[in-house]
Amino acid sequence: MENKRSSTNQLVVRELGRIGYTEALELQRRLNRERSAGLIPDQLLLLEHPPVITMGKSAPAHHIVASQRKLADAGVEIHRIERGGEATYHGPGQIVGYVIINLQERARSIKRFVTDLEQVFINVLRDAYGITAERDDNHRGVWVGHDKITAVGIAIKNKTTLHGFAFNVNPNLEHYAWIVPCGITSGGLTSLERLLGRPQDLTEAKSALIDGFCRVFGYSRPRLSSESLKQN
């Protein structure tokens, strides 16, 4: 834990590997408390989850379309959480990012924060992969044509953000058939692997993402955390 109040242009990046959803949620909540108290700088957690379905506050139960038995046989967990949005799938091959930012210190509205988060991926897809992506007027996230490649869902507690994004690099897209993803019944899901015709290097994708995140949000060179967590 930091012993002094943080500078607003500092960012700590924690690359956590593949960890369980509950463990990551507990870490988010702890960091949210510490960040809101000014004990640590802003945080970006980058990780993968084993297969899991998360449900936002307003997500209807029938948006999980797979049977409970099928999900149990596949080892899929289900969590209802405090973020906005509908049902979302997380799994291996997807970069999940949890963002712990004090919005008050950075003079950002919630709307601007989400718009900036989307812009990170629009820039990364264009600059690192030559892919044209855009926003959708009716749905949050980042889209390539009619297909979604990045989901965005946040919560605010103590004027500090929780949750963040899920970026499809090499996930099993068939797993999205388990849900009505983000409440969307038209259009589909895509990934870097599908768009480029081959699996993509997750390390390279994370590096491009960190650089893009710092440019959009105005951070100086990020600091990697030495904290390690037990991984699944």
Q: Domain residues of the chain, as ranges?
A: 11-219
Question: What does the alpha-carbon distance between residue 14 and residue 214 come to, in Å, rounded to a whole number?
Answer: 14
> What residues are labeled active site?
182
Residues near 10 by beta carbon (within 8 Å), at least 6 away in sequence: 41, 42, 219, 220, 223
CATH number for domain 11-219, candidates 3.40.50.10860, 3.30.930.10, 3.40.50.11310, 3.40.50.300: 3.30.930.10
Nearest to 152 by CA among 102, 76, 213, 211: 213
Q: Residue 140: what pLDDT? A: 86
Residue 123 in 3-state DSSP?
Answer: helix
End-to-end CA gap in the chain: 24
Contact 76, 101 (CB under 8 A): no
Taking 90 as the threshold, does the pLDDT of residue 30 lie above it? yes
Confidence of residue 147 (pLDDT cuts 50, 70, 90): very high
Model-level pTM?
0.88
Q: Residue 179: what pLDDT? A: 86
Work out the average pLDDT over 56-73. Answer: 83
